Amino acid sequence: MPTEESRKQFVEYIMLQVYDDQYVDRAEEKKILEMGIKKGFSVEEGLAILRQVADDKGFAIEREAENRAKEILGQFAANDGVVDKKEFEDALALFKSASKGKLPEPELKKRLKKMMLDNGWKAKEGGLFGTKWFSAI
């Protein structure tokens, strides 16, 4: 059972990891959780503390930003299995906001496209005056 002192040290370690960019990517998240395990926390406890610190201090966690973007794409695709350009751009704006602008837009678009392909969601492209916006990513 971790002590209050080990919890404080863990929180300080989290703060040190995000000191420079206020952003926790997947590699940093894994490193933070490994330290939490060394301090006696379970993975779930470590994640809970990380999320709490992120909420309190206003920094972004990559995995959380991706999950939000995936949820919104899922909602857009729920009715007909198709995501149009406007919906994709809305999800992109949410993803960019949730990641605090730490990732470049082309990278965000690639990740959203991969989410759509992995989940079998189609993109609405073309039409009379449409473009191949999804294929261009």
Both 29 and 44 in one domain: the answer is: yes
Is 135 among the domain residues? no
Is residue 105 over pLDDT 70? yes
Could you list the residue range(s) of the whole structural domain that residue 29 is in? 4-58
Q: CB-hemisphere CA count at 13 Å for 20?
A: 3
Both 68 and 49 in one domain: the answer is: no
pLDDT of residue 4: 87
Tokens at 42, concatenated: 């379970």
Cα separation, 29 vs 43, whole angstroms: 11
Q: Is the pTM of the predicted complex or chain greater than 0.85?
A: no
Is 45 among the domain residues? yes
Q: pLDDT tens, 85-102?
A: 999 999 999 999 999 888
- How many structural domains comprise the chain? 2
Both 13 and 43 in one domain: the answer is: yes
